[in-house]
Structure 1
Amino acid sequence: MDFHTKSDIESSILRIDELLACGIFQPTNSRHVLFRAAFIELLIALRDLMYKSEKLGRRIAFADDVKQTEKIKDVTHLIKYVRDALCHPDSENHYIEEGMKATFNVVFGQASLLKIGDFEQSSKYHDDICFFFGSQGIYLQRHVVRAFNEAKAHLLPLVEN
């Protein structure tokens, strides 16, 4: 592994650790001016780790609570979908199947945010935060933190060698 790849991995891990520890993702900070910016930075760094983890031999591929579609089969796909939505305002990832735009809707705890016919944006867990983009939702703990921890466990030993 070259120096730049090692540096990128270490930098992404450090930054994600900082963002998760700073308290910005608490309900009391939901209207903080940097709440969205922190989530964007978190997903950009996480997507980079997902890419590097797969490139270096281990795809983070759990599918628990991932709404599977033709394009989204696991958490790595979901993270890319959300990162693309965050970075590209004109992305189709902001749209629900029925043509409605729904982006960066956030639910703290268990709740139903939106229901249209058979489609529903809802969080099943009282102890998590769910961020919605179009027809997809990503949980902070169950998806983001778990994927981060799995990638970190795979990548850190490679960086330290």
Structure 2
Amino acid sequence: MKWGICGRPGKGPVKGETALEFYDQCEVATSFRDIEKIINSGIFTPDNSRSPFFKASFIAMLIELRALMYKAEKYASKIDFVDDVLQRDKVKDVSDLIKFVRDAVCHPDIPHHHLDDGGRASFNVSFGAGCLAQIGDHRQESLYDDDICFFFGMQHIYMKRHVIRAVQEAHAKLSPLLDEGRL
């Protein structure tokens, strides 16, 4: 079964809301479509984890996802759930986590890849539950059998619990602001 987020948004803006400007509507619709295509491509499997397209797809997805988080906060409200989010430093909710991870994948020289003990651990991936590494008191550990977990320094992001849920929440907030047929 394919995962999907984009449906027909209805009959334009909800009463009292204003549609996004044309450029922003195109950008939002493109972000939703690109994320859906990346997730449905089948790239995020253990068999594909060594493919050069695995990391590239993750990076492209996080860039588009960060753009959606920005647009949701600007035009509706922040996507701010905290389930399974490690709240530390500047990461207070899922939007902050997405920004943290997007910054990490786009800027390999920033401290987002560092552990508290000074070590470096970046773009480690767990398919299902398991502990990839124990470094001092820190464990790069996924708690869920049904999810993929990506690790960057002290942080982690789950595909279903963070990425897909954030996209779905952004879709619920932004699709009513798009002109009919945009998605």
Q: 5+ unaligned residues in a row in structure 2: which ranges?
A: 1-19
Q: 2:76 aligns with which of 34, 47, 57?
A: 57
Structure 1 partner of 2:159: 140
Structure 2 partner of 1:152: 171
Equivalent runs, 1:27-42 vs 2, <5 Å: 27-42=46-61
Give 1 or 2 for the bigger CA radius of gyration.
2
One-letter identity of the residue aligned with 1:63? V
Q: 1:85 aligns with which of 81, 104, 109?
A: 104
Once residues 160 and 109 of structure 1 are traced to their aligned partners in structure 2, the CA distance between those partners, rounded to angstroms, is 39
Once residues 38 and 89 of structure 2 are traced to their aligned partners in structure 1, the CA distance between those partners, rounded to angstroms, is 31
Offset at 1:50? 0.2
Matched positions, count: 161
Task: Give the SS at the match of 1:127.
Answer: coil
Offset at 1:70? 2.6
Moved over 4 A (4+): none
Contact 2:116–2:154 (Cα < 8 Å) also in 1: yes
1:96 aligns with 2:115: yes
One-letter identity of the residue aligned with 1:29? N
Q: In the TM superposition, what whole-angstrom CA distance separates every residue of 1:59-87 from its partner, at most 9, and x where no partner exists?
A: 10000000001311100000000000000
Offset at 1:160? 2.5
Q: 5+ unaligned residues in a row in structure 1: which ranges?
A: none
* Aligned CA-pair RMSD: 0.9
Once residues 81 and 179 of structure 2 are traced to their aligned partners in structure 1, the CA distance between those partners, rounded to angstroms, is 25
Q: 1:24 aligns with which of 23, 43, 62?
A: 43
Work out which structure has the larger RCO, using CA pairs closer than 8 Å and 6 or more positions apart in sequence.
2
Once residues 15 and 78 of structure 1 are traced to their aligned partners in structure 2, the CA distance between those partners, rounded to angstroms, is 20
Higher percent of residues as helix: 1
